[in-house]
Structure 1
């Protein structure tokens, strides 16, 4: 199982990469824009924080396949181990096919249906990212989509992994993992909720109080 952090906040990455067993960091254009720094500055800074073995993801913005491939190659100049996120549309599928031939790993992103994810996998993507909460918000079931996509990949494209994204609660993440999804990426607030609990805080405070009353500081 692979756990990723979905952010470009360097302070959060530094803190959570020290505490959590993270495999790396995922970003998208909106996340990078919120950080206020271009990828040329962000990617080296993130790499320095997470180390050489972590996996980083960044997304292309171009709309045509040839431009997506050129942008992917430029991004890989910033980080040679970068996984390129490509939206799963017609031009995106064409780009994923070409990236596969160039041996550049890609992630099919903005996945809303299992068949959409399967097509990205068959085109050569190493990961596909179903948008769990966004599917729910549109009246579907993100969990069902993840389950069906995982079944399709197991049967027809075992080289590709589900990297489930778009979470609002830890429960959504847990349910996706229980379906067999092998990777998830979480925003900072949901990652914090995995370990922080008022009940845990109260228990630790009680332990300290009991010890101090019995033995002092």
Structure 2
């Protein structure tokens, strides 16, 4: 049977436990209130951070933007999208579009340049020697190899005609008697030959290779 002393101790312990429970409950309520307030502050700071990042991107900033630690946490607060974030996405899309457009223009330009050296469809390439002899026969004025090359390049833009190639080919025509050469100082001039037997002096071995003027 409990004694009065034991009942007194039990009552004291009960009062102490009740007081501890009240303090514990009050402390929980205080911490929950602080957490709610801090979460609200943090949510506002996160929205401000996204707004500032979007404005930095729209202004063309290149500096590294620090990422807050714990930004991937899950909370009960829903963070809405900001106009600045959407603006940053538009800037990225616009830059990618401009890059793609520049690449397309560069590709088209390269195709146009490579096509300029191709012979027109259906046209049979003529030997460079024939073109040189025809040009000198029509021009009748003494011309240097460089002048002949420039004239033929203008008349036949699809051909790859260089000064050295024209000089070599014209010297072959001189050896065949189809072209005459005259030297004035250090400059060599060429004119079409007026001899009647020029066509008979050519030998098969001296014919210009088909690929020489390609």
Higher strand share: 1
Higher helix share: 2
TM-score bucket of the superposed structures, by smaller chain: under 0.3
